[in-house]
Amino acid sequence: MFDFLLAIPYPRIDPTAFAIGPFSVRWYALAYVAGLIFAWWHVRQVVAARPAGKRIMEPKDCDDLLFWATFGVVLGGRIGYVLFYKPGYYIHHLDEVLSLWKGGMSFHGGLPLYQVRVEEAGPDLYDGTGFDALADSKLQDIKIGLGFNDKGMEQVAGIKGLRHFAIAHGRTSDAGITFFEGHPSLESFSVAEMGKVSERGLASIAKMPKVTRVGFGEAFITYESGFRHLLPMRGRLKELDLTMSVVNQDDLKRVQADHPDAKITVIPPAEIVKRHSGVANALARAATGPAAEELKRAIAEHQTRNK
């Protein structure tokens, strides 16, 4: 009845891009460098394009921003890897915590420290605003995240021709989703906000009249508080992607009965832990019922394997 999807096998790529003597450079490091340099260049362009009297920082300040962003990404990335992925190992090998040359960085750890520095430099620069200028554009597809918040959500909701929208790991909330209620052309809507968006957000999604495909990840969802809000979509809902969300089987059966023609995608709790142990731990604290117990067992087994 349900589609339990396994993870796509990760390609076997040599992590080392090139080496000069004992010094090796990894692909992941190059990705960090490229991302930081592009962000620095882009922010300078955005700041320079604004009238002098309306700037919250000057282009030269972007150089300092790059330094502190790099510091936050590297330090936070390493701390995130140590705490989220191998805490059992590093508690017994404290001397290796700062051994960056051995590999081990977590984007999810780097993001919080990066955002601290960004927000100190100017929070309004990174909130996702600016999409109001595209209200009458032909833009149809947006996938976004990071610092994007409810102010940005309000402006994106004003893009009349938008057909597909997805946000992950931003700073939006249930209130941000309400801005899309009644959107005239949106066909698919997906959100994965690591617990910051609750199952009540499904009520707003049901009020998007043309949406037929829904993604709702990284949340604990019950029928009574969540899925029943989708009843107005009966006969219209074609796909419900619950990847990385925790749902009890009884609730899944009820939502499938409400939408017998819809494709509902979930993954087992063990796969959630494998993909992101930090999200798994957050969901384990929020979830109840058999699915929660299965998730907690999967977390315990994962921790045992990584000691």
Q: What is the mean pLDDT of residues 265-292?
A: 90
- List the structure tokens of 48: 């320079």
Place of tokens 């936070």: 76
**Statement: residue 213 has pLDDT above 80:** yes
Shared domain for 111 and 190, answered yes or no, is no
Select the more confidently predicted residue: 232 or 43: 232
Shared domain for 145 and 259, answered yes or no, is yes
260 occurs within a structural domain? yes
User: At how many degrees (to 10) do helices 277-286 and 290-305 cross?
Assistant: 150
Span of 88-102, 114-128, 144-158 with lowest mean pLDDT:
114-128
Shared domain for 60 and 92, answered yes or no, is yes
Within 13 Å, how many C-alpha atoms sit on residue 85's CB side? 17
pLDDT in tens, 181-205: 999 999 999 998 866 788 889 999 9
> Which of 107-116, 133-142, 231-240 has maximum average pLDDT?
231-240
Q: Is 20 exposed, middle or buried (0-12, 13-18, 19+ CB in 10 A)?
A: exposed
Look at the chain and report how many structural domains it folds into: 2
- Rounded CA-CA distance 240/144 in Å is 20
Q: Of 277, 229, 221, which Cα lies nearest the Cα of 250?
A: 221
Shared domain for 119 and 185, answered yes or no, is no
9 occurs within a structural domain? no
Shared domain for 44 and 148, answered yes or no, is no
pLDDT in tens, 241-251: 999 999 999 99
Range of the domain at 33: 17-125
pLDDT at 275: 85
pLDDT at 154: 93
290 occurs within a structural domain? no
